[in-house]
Structure 1
Amino acid sequence: MTITENQPRTNELPDTPDPESHSPSRWGPKLWAVLFVAGLAMFLDALDVSMVGVALPSIGTELGLETSSLQWIVNGYILGYGGLLLLGGRMADLLGRRQVFLTALVVFGIASLVGGLVDNEGLLIASRIVKGVAAAFTAPAALSIITTTFKEGHDRNKALSIFTVFGATGYASGLIASGLLTSVDWRLTFYVPTVVVAGVVIAAFFVVPKTTDRERGSIDYAGTVTLTGGMLAAVYTIVTAPETGFTPLVTATTIAAVLLLGAFFVIENKVAHPLVRLSIFKVKSIVRANLAALAIFGSYISFQTIVSLYLQNTLEWEPIQMALALAPAGIIVAILSPSAGKFIDRYGTKSMIIVALASFVLGYLWFILRGGNPEPNYFADYLPSFLLLGLGFAIGFSAVMVQATEGIADDEQGLASGLVQTSGQIGGAIVLAIVTGLISGGVATNLDQYRPGLYMVTVVAIVGLLASATALLGRRTAVEAA
């Protein structure tokens, strides 16, 4: 079913496809089915993350968990997800996207079921880590299934735009569903994803085509071991150091991360069939896409954390109130994302990413200026900020994914997909670690305690905006010179 032709590997790729790539193809039922199944995997990941976040207080109350343990219910998922995303994407190329996708979905469902059944803190956190590992394989596999099924240009832009809708819908519905399910039993937030997984696995078995273009050559076991160990050690350090400081264990993981990742880069330069072709980092458009992903997710994840703490702890809102307050951001993504592909066709990914990052910056600034009112009005003080962030995601996510994967050969689409998603996760972990240190210090009585974190979030978005704007300015200068 794959209809994408391999593209040349160059150091710079055009911002917009050639005229022929703008010609839309007629999508039959099979193509729509593939897109729907891959999108459901994105929906599932977003659904799970948002539901567990809202359910944390109830989990802590029933199981008697401290805040540090509750944090690891989130960080455990991040550890597995961020630590193995790059490997997961590459394995999809080497072992076959369909095989990796189906296997990882089954593991995800089993881990979710176990998490709902256990009463032990260690087992619950372990299930979250396994769940994150499974998501690290399903996410890049799903994205690479789309990028290899739909030809580069109009069709792929449209498909990725629709793909974004699934993520936004999953996140928004997860917020609301968790508020309702948690009022009955927090374990339902673990059981519901299991049911969704069962349906996705059955559909994927019949819909997703078998891989016929996997990369030939032996698996780079040395690269696999050093990359996996190095990334896990690095992510563990990032999510742990802000809370505990550089304890002997954290210091050891820091040293291990440096040594293992250093060894990985040495190995990849010498082996005949590297796990990661390092020359992919010479493609400037891919580097820019990864920087944009880092800025978008790094800033937004921290902003959402600050808003959640402020609304629930300071203003004493109920979880369902907070969920409904944030829902418009997801709704606007669901409404606007289907049109993102048309704008990418017309204006190119660089321009769209600039507009998206500018929208994020404005959203953060609005909250800084208006969010701390003693008697806040939701529609005047909060809603504009959330709508601007929704707009940024609606046009930015698709543009980043298109830029990160365009011009890449089919046998490396998993690598490119895993790389850009890793950048987003690592960016989120790093910025959140810094922000957590800036805003720590007990329950705040107003927004002032959170302002240093909000300033940091805004700076990250501004840096991403300037980097993207500089790239666009350089392109225009080159065109004028030519």
Structure 2
Amino acid sequence: MLAIAQFMVVLDVTIVNVALPAIQTDLGFSAEGLQWVVNGYTLAFGGLLLLGGRMSDILGRRRLFLIGLGLFTAASLAGGFATSDGLLIAARAVQGVGAALLSPAALALLTVTFPAGRERNIALGVWGALAGIGGTLGVVAGGVLVDSLGWEWIFFVNVPVAALAIAATPMFITESRRVQADSSFDVAGAVLGTLGLLAVVGGVIRTEAAGWGSAEVLSLFAAGIALLAGFVAVEARAKDPLVPLRLFRVRGLSVSAIALALNGGAFLGMFFLTALFLQQVHGDSALEAGAHFVPMGIAAIASAVVGAQLVTRFGTRSAYLGGTTVGAVGLLLLSQAGADSSYAGALLPGLIVFGLGLPLVGVANQIAAVAEVPHEDAGAASGVITAAFQVGGAIGLALISTAATTRTGDALAAGAAQADALAQGFERGMMIAAGLAIANLVVGLIRAPRIQPDAAMVAEASV
């Protein structure tokens, strides 16, 4: 039940991608606005994830799980009934808030419900497996729903599953909370951090229409920097901060946060643009587009399994550098696809290669992030790197999609056909994504620590 709820959270990161062309047509989204269908969810989820974990510890994990699941369900229903772009973006943001409340509460409930040892290991294995296949299944399920019932059903499908979980949770899950003298929330830090990130992402997205030097864009960037500076100031003074700044003095954690943010940016931007390219240029139906992502998902699952063994044998630094190199090669291969390219010849090799590289970076840096952190800070460290992946994904998507949209517009203005212009935008976007992967490689070469974990550490960090 807890794992199924987490499965829905992961599913909603990817299921929406294959529905984007249908959503854009029905609700009249601009190319700029379409990014917010993904980023509204991602930023709310990543920005409030740490606050959700703290609230569940203090107010009760089952209570926050049910509140989050209720919000997620209501927002899913509202998203399916949305009649305008603004309503859908608002629903996606509320979905993200719900996910930020339920996800950390669900994992905490799982660890306290099952005793340490075989039972907990099995439960964590089911949790990790369902979360791992959620992304791959999401694109296929999304394609089936869009082609057979309409894009609205990618949201409606959450409702009966979530309703069943809400009804069953009180019968099977007991309440738990952390006993502590100081029961305070760092709400100010969560609000400042999330609003700052929204301003920065909004500034990046508006550069295509207004220009990098426009007053609007500069104002958004200035507001974002000021809000994020306020976030750092609040965290430095807070008695019980969401993000203990001392953690960033740990080399492994600070490098891992950057690595996972860059990895998330390359992944989310690639996923967004490739889903559009397959349908708008290659001519796929939503189901065909979803099926065309499956080989990448299979490659990623296989790489995650093998990656744990590679990290144990060769260390986190080697796996990190290998994963970023493979990922960059995959993105460069994807950038060669043109309007007349075949899926098998131009897209499939790049998707498989990128899928092989993505989990290696994730596994290596999840381990490196917590390896040198005191045990009492391990939960906070895990929350930081999870949030970093989501936030990096939102910023990377904004950069990649904006660059692609600008290139497409320039090509259309120069007289290119629609398909050729979109292909040129896709090429530019993949090059930017590859640039993020190469930047990640440089970070790893310069700063990544050499950590040789044992099997127990790999198992604990891979959940």
- What's the TM-score once normalised by structure 2's chain length? 0.80
Q: Distance in 1 between matches of 2:443 and 2:115?
A: 29
Secondary structure, aligned partner of 2:151 = coil
1:403 to 364, 368, 371: 368
Q: What pairs with 1:96-245 in structure 2 (closer than 5 Å)?
A: 96-142=60-106, 163-183=127-147, 184-202=149-167, 204-205=169-170, 210-213=175-178, 216-219=181-184, 220-245=186-211
Counterpart check, 1:290 vs 2:249: no
The amino acid that maps onto 2:68 is A
Secondary structure, aligned partner of 2:39 = helix
The amino acid that maps onto 1:226 is L
The amino acid that maps onto 1:173 is L
Match of 1:301 in 2: 268
Q: Distance in 2 between matches of 1:393 and 1:157?
A: 25
Q: Distance in 1 between matches of 2:427 and 2:340?
A: 15
Task: Give the C-alpha shift of residue 79 in structure 1.
Answer: 3.8
Task: Give the C-alpha shift of residue 175 in structure 1.
Answer: 1.4
Q: Distance in 1 between matches of 2:268 and 2:204?
A: 15
Residue ranges of structure 1 left out of the alignment (5+ in a row): 1-36, 477-482
Match of 1:324 in 2: 291
Instruction: Name the CA shift for 1:467/1:450 in 2 (closer, same or farther; >3 Å).
Output: same
Task: Give the C-alpha shift of residue 445 in structure 1.
Answer: 1.0
Match of 1:480 in 2: none
Q: Distance in 2 between matches of 1:325 and 1:117?
A: 28
Residue ranges of structure 2 left out of the alignment (5+ in a row): 410-417, 453-463
The aligned length equals 438
The amino acid that maps onto 1:187 is E
Instruction: Name the CA shift for 1:448/1:258 in 2 (closer, same or farther; >3 Å).
Output: closer
Match of 2:412 in 1: none
Q: Distance in 1 between matches of 2:121 and 2:250?
A: 20
Counterpart check, 1:367 vs 2:334: yes
Instruction: Name the CA shift for 1:334/1:449 in 2 (closer, same or farther; >3 Å).
Output: closer
Task: Give the C-alpha shift of residue 402 in structure 1.
Answer: 3.3
Task: Give the C-alpha shift of residue 400 in structure 1.
Answer: 3.0
Secondary structure, aligned partner of 1:276 = coil
Secondary structure, aligned partner of 1:275 = coil
Judge which range, 281-290 or 58-67, deviates more. 58-67
The amino acid that maps onto 2:382 is S
Match of 2:49 in 1: 85
Identity of aligned residues (%): 33
Secondary structure, aligned partner of 2:48 = helix
Task: Give the C-alpha shift of residue 112 in structure 1.
Answer: 0.5
Task: Give the C-alpha shift of residue 288 in structure 1.
Answer: 1.8
The amino acid that maps onto 1:384 is P
1:95-154 superposed Cα distances (whole Å, 9 cap, x missing partner): 454433332122101110122234344333221111122222334444566788899999
| Alignment check: 8 A CA contact 1:140 1:421 kept | no
Instruction: Name the CA shift for 1:78/1:96 in 2 (closer, same or farther; >3 Å).
Output: same
Task: Give the C-alpha shift of residue 324 in structure 1.
Answer: 1.1
Instruction: Name the CA shift for 1:131/1:321 in 2 (closer, same or farther; >3 Å).
Output: same
Instruction: Name the CA shift for 1:337/1:164 in 2 (closer, same or farther; >3 Å).
Output: farther
The amino acid that maps onto 1:316 is G
Q: Distance in 2 between matches of 1:261 and 1:365?
A: 33
Q: Distance in 2 between matches of 1:400 and 1:252?
A: 34
Instruction: Name the CA shift for 1:274/1:72 in 2 (closer, same or farther; >3 Å).
Output: closer
1:416-465 superposed Cα distances (whole Å, 9 cap, x missing partner): 23321222222222222222333223444174443333222112112212
Task: Give the C-alpha shift of residue 282 in structure 1.
Answer: 1.0
1:464 to 440, 446, 451: 440
Tell which has more relative contact order, 1 or 2 (C-alpha 8 A, sep 6+): 1
Give the alignment's Cα RMSD to 1 decimal: 3.6
Match of 1:273 in 2: 240
Instruction: Name the CA shift for 1:335/1:158 in 2 (closer, same or farther; >3 Å).
Output: farther
Counterpart check, 1:415 vs 2:380: yes
